[in-house]
């Protein structure tokens, strides 16, 4: 995975919200995020890839599905992005045709201190 080399201290600080965003899609409130569900969401390699790319290769505030370069059917991607959103890991907004996502760094850090930073610092094995 390409990595920009941004320091971890910057990764765990969520970008400020640009003004005039669409409303977020339905998601759990920060206090309703469950560790078991977050763990289950992050136990899938594809979803872990998505979250890591959002953290490490972030270019904008929000990113559409196409930006990830995932070679999977669209219905599979819908499934995985929804799993991440339902668990409270990402927030999604509808921009016209596109549905863009970012990691809920502030909410995750408030509930589970150190989790986002650990994921950002972790390097997946090659084999």
Partner DNA sequence: TGCTAAGTTCGACTCAACTCGTACAAGCCT
Partner DNA sequence: AGGCTTGTACGAGTTGAGTCGAACTTAGCA
Show the CA angle centred on residue 73, arms to residues 80 and 51, nearest 5°. 30
Binds a second copy (CB under 8 A): choice among 2, 9, 16, 43 = 43
Burial of 112 (0-12, 13-18, 19+ CB in 10 A): middle
- Determine if 42 is a binding residue for a second copy (CB under 8 A): yes
Cβ 20 to a second copy shortest distance, Å: 35
Which region among 8-16, 48-56, 98-106, 115-123 touches DNA (by CB under 7 A)? Answer: 98-106
- Determine if 48 is a binding residue for a second copy (CB under 8 A): yes
x-or-dash pattern for a second copy, window 101-120, by CB under 8 A?
A: ----------xxxxx-xxx-
Residue 8 or 77: the one with the smaller Cβ distance to DNA is 77
- Determine if 42 is a binding residue for DNA (CB under 7 A): no
75 contact choice in a second copy, DNA, none (CB below 5 to 8 Å, kind-dependent): DNA
Contact 116, 109 (CB under 8 A): yes
Show the CA angle centred on residue 120, arms to residues 5 and 101, nearest 5°. 95
- Determine if 122 is a binding residue for a second copy (CB under 8 A): yes
Residue 49 or 61: the one with the smaller Cβ distance to a second copy is 49
**17-44: buried (b, 16+ CB within 10 Å) or exposed (e) per residue?**
eeeeeeeeeebbeeeebeeebbeebbee
List of E strands, the chain: 63-64, 90-95, 98-103
């Amino acid at each position: 995975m390409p990595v920009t080399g941004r320091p971890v201290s910057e990764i765990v600080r969520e970008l400020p919200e640009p003004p005039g965003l669409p409303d977020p899609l339905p998601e759990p409130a920060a206090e309703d995020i469950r560790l078991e569900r977050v763990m289950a969401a992050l136990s899938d390699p594809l979803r872990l890839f998505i979250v890591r790319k959002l953290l490490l290769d972030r270019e904008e505030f929000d990113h559409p599905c196409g930006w990830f370069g995932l070679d999977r059917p669209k219905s599979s991607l819908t499934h995985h992005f929804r799993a991440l959103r339902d668990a409270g890991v990402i927030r999604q907004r509808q921009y016209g045709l596109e549905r863009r996502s970012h990691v809920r760094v502030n909410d995750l850090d408030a509930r589970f201190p150190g989790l986002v930073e650990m994921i950002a610092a972790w390097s997946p094995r090659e084999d």
